[in-house]
Amino acid sequence: MEQTYDDGLGSSINFIIVTMFVLVIALCGGAVAWANYFTISGAVIASGTVVVETNVKHIQHQDGGIVKTVDVANGDIVKAGDVLLRLDDTSIGASLAIAQSRLDDLTGQEARLIAERNRDEKILFSPHSEQLSPSDSQETFREGAA
| pLDDT score at 86 | 85
Computed on alpha carbons and rounded to an integer, the radius of gyration of the chain in Å comes to: 36
CB 47 within 8 A of CB 34: no
Per the structure, the complete domain to which residue 10 belongs is given by 1-40
Task: Output the tens digit of pLDDT for each of the chain's 146 residues.
Answer: 555 555 666 678 888 999 999 999 999 999 999 888 888 777 677 777 766 667 676 777 676 777 888 888 887 888 888 888 888 888 788 888 999 999 989 998 999 999 999 998 888 887 655 554 545 544 544 554 44
Residue 53 lies in a domain: no
| pLDDT score at 144 | 47
Residues 131 and 91 in one domain: yes
| pLDDT score at 140 | 47
Count Cβ atoms below 10 Å from residue 138 Cβ, excluding itself.
Answer: 19
Residues 73 and 137 in one domain: yes
Residue 50 lies in a domain: no
| pLDDT score at 47 | 73
Provide the number of structural domains found in the chain.
Answer: 2
Question: pTM of whole model > 0.75?
Answer: no
Q: What is the DSSP letter of 122?
A: S
Three-class SS of residue 68? Answer: strand
Residues 31 and 67 in one domain: no
Residue 140 lies in a domain: yes
Residue 55 lies in a domain: no
Phi then psi for residue 6, to 5 deg, are -65, -40
